[in-house]
Amino acid sequence: MFWIGLVFDTFLNTNIVEFLANLFKEKMPLPDNTSATYTSFIGHMDSRMDLDKKIKIGDSRYYGALSAMAAKLSYENEASVKTVVTDHWKMRFLKFYDFWNDYQGKATTQAFMFQDKAEDPELVVVAFRGTEPFDADAWITDLDISWYDLSCLGRVHGGFMKALGLVKDEGWPKQFNQTETNQRSLAYYTLRDKLRDILRNNEKAKVLVTGHSLGGALAILFPSVLAFHGEDDWMLKRFQGVYTFGQPRVGDEKLGEYMKEQLRINDIKYFRYVYCNDMVPRVPYDDKSLLFKHFGTCLYFNSRYQGKVVDQEPNKNYFNIMRAVPKMLNAVYELVRSFFIGYWMGPEYSEGWFLILFRVIGVLIPGLSAHCPRDYVNITRIGSLSQPFHLQDPAGESPKLD
C-alpha cells in the first residue's frame, strides 16, 4: 500500500513529462514531501486554500466553513499547513503534531493547532487528520473495532482510543508524564496540556475541535476523555464546539447518552456533517451484533447541497442491496455535475481531472467519492438548510449553527 501511494504522490507532484522521462530510470528522483509546495492525494482533489471571503465572523456558517477547511488542510505536511494558516488565512500557526500510537509502536496520529490572532486569541482550533487512502496505519486504526470500556461513559471504538493516546497496559490515567520534545508524545495528553496553558493565559479564548473521517472520530472523542477525567469543571466550558465531517460511529448507545448530557451541561455545540451517500458515517454498523450508535446533531446534505437536521442519516448502514441502484444513479449525477458546477457556482468550484476520475470510481463503488472533503467544504459554503439558524437537536435542544 505504501508503494502504491508513493507512485501516486510522485506522479501528482511531478510534471507529467518529467515523470514519464524518469519512470524507467534505475533511481527515480522523488519530490520533496516536506516542501510547502507538496500536495497530498486529498489536496489534489481540492486545491482551494483561501477561506470564503463572503463568510465572515458572525455569519452562522463561519465556524462550519472554517472547520471544513481546517479538516481538509490537516492532510497536508507541516510546511504547507503553516503557509496556508499564516499567509492565506492570516491567522497564527501554533504547531503541527505527529503523535505516537502506543499499540502500533509508531507515530500514526497527526493534528495541528492554530489560533485566530497572534495576541489575545478568541478562538483556538485543533484539527485532526483523517484516513489517507494509502496509509496502512490509519486503516489498521479504522478496522480495529474492538471495544474499549470506559466504565461510566460506555464502550468506545478501540482503534480510535489507541490513536487518541490510550496508554498501553495503563488505559487512561489522568496524569501521564511526557514532554513536548518526546517523540512518543500521545495526542490526548499533549493537546490537553497545550490547551490548558493557552486557556489559562487567555480568558476570552474558546476551543474548536474538528476533523474529517477518522479525524472527526478523534475530534469528538477528545472532549469525551476530558469529561472522563473530570475536566468539565472549567476546560470543557471553554469549548466553542466540535465540528466533524464524514465521521464514523465511535461508540455504543451508552456513550452517546453520556456525551449528549456532557455537551448540554457544558454548552458545547456538536455538529456532525454528513454528505449524501458518504459510506464512512454509515460504519461501523448500527445493528444488534456491533451495537455502534451515532449521537449529536446530524446535518445531512444531499447531492444538490440541500440540507436538513435529522436524528440519523438515511440508509444508516452502508451495505444495503435495495439502495445500490439509487446510489449508483446519484454517483452518475455527481460525475455529470463535476463538468458544470464551475459554471453554476463560480470558478472556485470547478473540479479538476483527478477528482473527475475519482468520481468515475465512485460510480462503481457508490459512497466512495462522496467521502471526499471537497463536498464537505462545499456544503459549508453553498449548502442550504431548512433550519438555517436554529437547529433542532435530537435531544430536544435548539443550538445555533455558529
Q: 22 by DSSP, 3-state: which?
A: helix
C-beta of residue 355 within 8 angstroms of C-beta of residue 370: no
Catalytic residue numbers, as ranges: 213, 278, 371
The four Cα atoms 131, 133, 136, 142 give a dihedral, to 10 degrees, of 40
* Distance from C-alpha of 279 to C-alpha of 113, rounded to nearest angstrom: 28
Nearest Cα neighbor of 208 from 294, 275, 268 is: 268
Pairing of strands 206-212, 123-128: parallel
Report phi then psi at 54, rounded to 5. Answer: -80, -15
C-beta of residue 229 within 8 angstroms of C-beta of residue 256: no
Cβ atoms within 10 Å, residue 18: 11
Q: What is the CA radius of gyration of the chain?
A: 20
Q: What is the DSSP letter of 318?
A: S
| Residue position matching grid coordinates 501554533 | 94
Reading the block at residue 243, the C-alpha cell is 465540528
Nearest Cα neighbor of 344 from 304, 306, 308, 384 is: 304
Pairing of strands 297-301, 269-275: parallel
* Distance from C-alpha of 135 to C-alpha of 131, rounded to nearest angstrom: 7
